[in-house]
Amino acid sequence: MASKISIEDLAKIRKETLRTMNLREGSGKVKMNVHMGTCGIAAGARKILEAVLSEVETRGLNDIIVTNSGCAGLCSQEPMMTVEVYNEPAPVKYVSLTPEKVKKIFDSHVLKGEIVKEYALALGSETTV
Amino acid sequence: MQDISLHILDIAENSIKAGANFIEIAINEDTEKNSLTIEIRDNGKGMSSEMAAKVKDPFTTSRTERKVGLGLSLLEQAAIAAGGKVTVESEEGKGTTVKAEFMYDHIDRKPMGKITDTLISLLSNENNIDIKYTHKKNTGEFEFVSTQLKSLLGLNSLKDSKVLIVLKEIINSKLEEIS
C-alpha cells in the first residue's frame, strides 16, 4: 500500500492556506519568476527558486507570487529571475544569481522598491552624452 | 546536471513546453535487481515518429531560438555512463513518455538529489501543471497526486508559496519513511 498525504498533512496545508487567505489583500504585489530551461537548471536555477521560497518563509511575506518559466534566451547569464513589482514601470531581469544575491534582492527591491542595479541585466539603453 | 532530480525537472520542463498540463513521474529503486528506473509521461502534443527517433541527438530541436537541444542528450549520457539507457515513446496529439534506466550501484550513477525541490518547482510553474508522482523503493511506496490534493483542499491551485513550503516538508518526510 503506497503511503500518501495523510489527513494530518491536509490539516497542516489547510491551516497555511487559511492563514494566507486571511492576510492577503488582493493578489500578489511582487511576482518573482525564475527561468528554468535546461541552461538555467544546469546553472542552478532550482537552488534560486528554493532560496526565493525560503526568503518568503523566513520573512513571513504574504504578497509574493513565486513562479518559474522556460529559457529566457540568454543562457550564458543564467540563473536568471524576472522581478515584477505592482505599479513599477517595467519588470527587472536579474542575472548570474546566487542565493546570497537573492537575499539582497529581497532586502532592497522587494521590501524597499530599490532595484539592485549591479545584479540587473541592463539599465536603460545607450546614451549619447 | 549534477543529479537525477535535475534531469527529471529538465525533461518535465520539455513536457510543459509541449503543452502538457499533467505529468506523471514514476521512480523505481530496486536494489535487489540493481536497477533504478525513471519514467516521465506527459499529455503534451507529442512528436512524429521521425522526430522521436532523433530527439536524443543534441543537434535536433523543435525550438527556433537556437539549434541545439541538450536536455534529452544529457539524460542519455548520464544513463549510458551508469550502464543504462533512455527510451522515448511518443504519439502525436497524445503525449510523450521518456524512460531512463540506470544500474543502481554503478559508480558513475548520479545521485538522486533533491527530488522534492523538483516537484515543488513543477508545481510553481507559471502554467498550471498537475503531477502524479510515485516513488517506489523496494517494498516502500509513496504516491502524490496534485489533482487529488487540490480537490481534498478545495483549492484551484497549489501555487501559493506558503502551501508549497508546507508541502515540501510533508513530501520530504514521506520520502524519508520509504528510504
Contacts of B2 (CB under 8 A, 6+ apart): B110, B113
Strand order in the sheet with A81-85: A64-69, A30-35, A81-85, A92-94
Closest CA to B119 of B43, B29, B41, B25: B25
pLDDT at A25 over 50: no
Contacts of B87 (CB under 8 A, 6+ apart): B98, B99
Q: Which one of B66, B150, B160 would you mutate to disrupt binding with A, by most A Cβ within 10 Å of its Cβ? A: B160
How far apart CA A83 and CA A34 sit, in angstroms, is: 9
How far apart CA A69 and CA B16 sit, in angstroms, is: 9
pLDDT at A22 over 60: no
Is B162 in contact with A57 (Cβ distance < 8 A)? yes
Q: Which domains does chain A show, CATH number per domain?
A: 28-119 (3.40.30.10)
Cα angle vertex B131, ends B127, B137, to 5°? Answer: 145
Average pLDDT along chain B, 179 residues, taken 10 residues at a time: 95 93 97 97 92 84 70 94 95 95 97 96 92 96 94 86 90 92
Is A53 in contact with B140 (Cβ distance < 8 A)? no
| A45-50 average pLDDT score | 95
Cis peptide before B58 (omega within 30 of 0): no
How many C-beta neighbours within 10 Å does residue B144 have?
24
Q: Which one of B75, B116, B121 would you mutate to disrupt binding with A, by most A Cβ within 10 Å of its Cβ? A: B121
How far apart CA A35 and CA A33 sit, in angstroms, is: 6
Ramachandran region, residue A96 (left: φ > 0; alpha: ψ -120 to 50; beta: rest):
left
Within B31-129, strands assigned E span 35-42, 85-91, 95-103
Q: What 3-state DSSP class applies to A82?
A: strand
Contacts of B45 (CB under 8 A, 6+ apart): B18, B19, B92, B93, B95
Q: Which of chain A's residues have a Cβ under 8 Å away from the Cβ of B164? A: 53, 66
ipTM, two decimals = 0.82
Q: Which domains does chain B show, CATH number per domain?
A: 4-178 (3.30.565.10)
Closest CA to A38 of B102, B66, B44: B66
Angle, helix B161-178 to helix A7-23, in steps of 10 degrees: 160
Is A3 in contact with B178 (Cβ distance < 8 A)? yes
pLDDT band (50, 70, 90) for residue A26: very low
Residues in B lying within 8 Å of A, measured between beta carbons = 1, 6, 9-10, 13, 16-17, 65, 69-71, 74, 114, 117-118, 120-121, 124-126, 134, 140-144, 149, 152-153, 155, 159-168, 170, 174, 177-178
Radius of gyration of chain A (CA): 17
Answer whether A32's CB lies under 8 Å from A64's CB.
yes
Tell me the average pLDDT of chain A: 87
A76-103: pLDDT as tens digits: 999 999 999 988 888 999 999 999 999 9
Q: Which one of B124, B153, B156, B171 would you mutate to disrupt binding with A, by most A Cβ within 10 Å of its Cβ? A: B124
- Number of residue pairs across A and B with CB atoms under 8 Å? 115
